[in-house]
Amino acid sequence: MSSDTLNENQSLTDSSLQSNHPPQKFLLHVVGAVAFAHLLNDSIQAIITASYPMLKSAFSLNFTQIGWIALIYQLTASLLQPWIGLYTDKHPKPYLLPVGMVITLLGIALMAFATNFSMLLIAAALIGVGSSTFHPEASRIARLASGGRFGTAQSLFQVGGNTGSALGPLLAAAILIPNGQYAFAWFILLAGLAVWVLLRVTRWRITHASALLAASAKRSVSVLNPKQITRAIIVICILLFAKFIYIAAISNYFTFYLIERFQLSIQTSQLYLFAFLGSVALGTFFGGPIGDRIGRKAVIWVSFLGAIPFALMLPYANLTWTAILVMFVGLIISSAFSALVVYAQEAMPGRVGMISGVMFGLMFGISGLGAAGLGHLADLYGIHWVYQLCSFLPLLGLVTFLLPDTRAKQA
């Protein structure tokens, strides 16, 4: 069969699909709703992280115990996510979204009234379970409502989470640190608002998303062969390791670093952490739309190579340059995540829930292991030494060279 005939047949197939399932518009109200729920979810998570100095003092914890709290939370979030995504790819369970947020609400309530280290671990585990049900299903809805602008939808969804992560330290500084552990109870209101939003999103999915799911299933054709998919997944795992170990070092221990090295107060150090997390949100916002235009691999290259000089200089800078450099690193390195998620979804179409679960699961799992490991290293060698070690992590971004180019394949 000639290439002209093949092209004709492909054109007829595409036309048939388009006539049966007209191109959908970008549904901003739906993507915006799951992004807002992501903001609420991740602000709760960031409040937990920002509370570590207070918990360390209130419960007489060491860095290793702080690392264990982070590890338990991150592992419960990460281990369940791929399985939830895989299951709901085949057996949709829309109401998992609000149910998961109810579990998060229970975890926050327990954190407010915990009386010992074991109860803190159980509370962290509950919040992790709630997160594990939220991310794959909410990411799926963002993709369904994207109208084909997958990177843009994923960025808006993710920037909601990043914005929540940035707001967490400010809320902790304003409410939690001055008032102590019981002030956690105020954040039950955030979880309750998220439950309400997710109930409305779930109703939209039940009544409107069937045609979108059917159209997506019919267009599910991978542009990579099995060997390329395997290679791509290995490279993505390495990139996620580099990115999230580095971000874990900042998110979990930046306040301790600033307090020890520059003698800042806890509340002032939270403002610097907010600056970093805000730059992460901004970088995430631009990463997806740029990936839609120039390709996912190009964004990944820029993200890792661009962060290298700033990361290497950070451990040796004074306070002013520390603030500047950490914002540049956050802005640049965060732009890769949306591109990595959409790249993986394009490589393995029809497995949106599983891929989202794996990607977000790896994010939480790597961050949790990193937090525990870095906490132990900080006890042994000091927090400044840990930051010197982590400054080399962006160099692992050079493995992007091995990532197959899905944009070229599609062309």
The DSSP string of 90-131 is: HS--TTHHHHHHHHHHHHHHHHHH--SHHHHHHHHHHHHHHH
**Which residues, 6 or more positions from 289, have their beta carbon under 8 angstroms from its beta carbon?**
149, 151, 152, 155
Name the nearest CA neighbour of 339 among 394, 283, 380, 389. 283
Report pLDDT for 189.
92
Q: How confident is the model at residue 95 (pLDDT cuts 50, 70, 90)?
A: confident
**Contact present, 192 and 109 (Cβ < 8 Å):** no
Phi and psi at 92, nearest 5°, equal -55, 135
- pLDDT tens sequence across 191-235: 999 999 999 999 888 887 655 555 554 444 556 777 888 888 888
- Reading the block at residue 54, the tokens are 């207070």
**Which residues, 6 or more positions from 86, have their beta carbon under 8 angstroms from its beta carbon?**
351, 353, 354, 357
As a CATH number, domain 25-410 is: 1.20.1250.20
Report pLDDT for 312.
94
Phi and psi at 245, nearest 5°, equal -65, -40
pTM of full prediction above 0.85: no
Q: Spell out a b/e string for 181-219, using b for 16 or more CB atoms within 10 Å of the CB, else e.
A: bebbeebbebbeebbebbeebbebbeeebeebeebbeee
**Contact present, 396 and 237 (Cβ < 8 Å):** no
Euclidean distance between CA atoms 278 and 286, whole angstroms = 13
Euclidean distance between CA atoms 400 and 398, whole angstroms = 5
Q: Domain extents for the chain?
A: 25-410
In this structure, of 39-43, 44-48, 91-95, 345-349, the range with the lowest mean pLDDT score is 345-349
Report pLDDT for 405.
72
The DSSP string of 77-98 is: HHHHHHHHHHHHHHS--TTHHH
